[in-house]
A and B are shown apart, each in its own frame.
Chain A
Amino acid sequence: MATTACFVIVSRNDIPIYEAEVGSAAKREDAAQLHQFILHAALDIVQDLAWTTSAMYLKAIDRFNDLVVSVYVTADIHTRLMLLHDSRNDDGIKSFFQEVHELYIKTLLNPLYLPGSRITSSHFDTKVRALARKYL
């Protein structure tokens, strides 16, 4: 399991709709803001990269000290699953993204969920955290 990992889903309007700190390390107080900041800074790179490849998984696209940003964009290029991590487990991260993508699609299919709004479902949250434990 990674010691630091922060997972965020960014919607088409560049609004974070889901956020989870899934690392096992003791939390530093400013960690959440720092992680958000790094991920936010990486968004521009994602935008450029996403159009150059047909792959959904963009691998590690940015780094900050020992932290690496991996990104997975959905087929419409608008929703981005972003993971900030310090582990080097490429296959695990890929599987993690794929399964979260699956979960995200299920959420979208829920007629009572408004696309682009915050994902508040506790079921989704539990599943994502379980996947993080399994793969990262």
Chain B
Amino acid sequence: MPPVGPRSGDAIFANVERVNAELFTLTYGAIVRQLLTDLEEVEEVNKQLDQMGYNIGIRLIDEFLAKSNVSRCVDFKETAEVIAKIGFKMFLGVTASVTNWDADGTCCSIVLEDNPLVDFVELPDTCQGLYYCNILSGVVRGALEMVSMKTEISWIRDMLRGDDAFELQVKLLKQVPEEYPYKDDE
């Protein structure tokens, strides 16, 4: 039995460096604002945010593994719990919950009741198609890809569109087997 990692991110969150929440929120807001100005199309902004998140995620996973002491997850269910309970707590300071599992355990929802990214934000009519927090889905996708899980992530609920919470649907497409990047006989 491998050592069990911490079951919540509180302890880690208390120890990592933090920035002022408003500074964080407004900086993210400025990025989105700039993207909207530069790219003009809301669809493009969604894509770009996702890509930025992905680039963050593939790096962030290393820090996550280094600081959180989690051990290898036995199945995707545990992975999802670790992301929601430890990952989100560690980097965003909020806890998410995992619900809506499908029968074969490859698709679930991560529900965020509270999201520091959207303080002050209200979607104007011109940006109705915008997924303001699309960067989060990119982060999760990127991080999971680095631990050999191909996932597809989409927003089911979005508070900025009048829903009561944020809900990310995480769908496991396939688990890439780990292999050495070189051949033995070379």
* Distance of A106 from chain B, by nearest CB (Å): 6
Q: Chain A contact residues (Cβ within 8 angstroms of B): what range? A: under 10
Specify which chain A residues have a CB less than 8 angstroms from the CB of B33 in the assembled complex.
Answer: 111-112
Interface membership of B127, Cβ < 8 A: yes
- Size category of the B interface is 10 to 19
Q: How far is the CB of A69 from chain B (nearest CB, A)?
A: 30
Q: Does A27 contact B (CB under 8 A)?
A: no
Instruction: Name the B residues within 8 Å of A113 (CB-CB).
Output: 122, 124
Which residues from A are CB-within-8-Å of B119?
109
Interfacial residues, chain A to chain B (CB-CB below 8 A)? 106, 109-113, 120-121, 123
| Residue ID in chain A nearest B121 by CB atoms | A110
Interface residue ranges, B against A (CB under 8 Å)? 26, 28-30, 32-33, 36, 119-125, 127
Q: Given A111-B28, A111-B30, list of 5 further CB < 8 A pairs?
A: A109-B120, A110-B121, A110-B122, A111-B120, A112-B121
Beta-carbon contact of B29 and A111 below 8 Å: yes
Report chain B residues within 8 Å CB of A120: 124-125
Which 7 pairs show the lowest CB-CB distances between chains A and B?
Answer: A111-B29, A109-B120, A111-B33, A110-B120, A110-B122, A121-B122, A112-B124
Are A112 and B122 touching (Cβ within 8 A)? yes
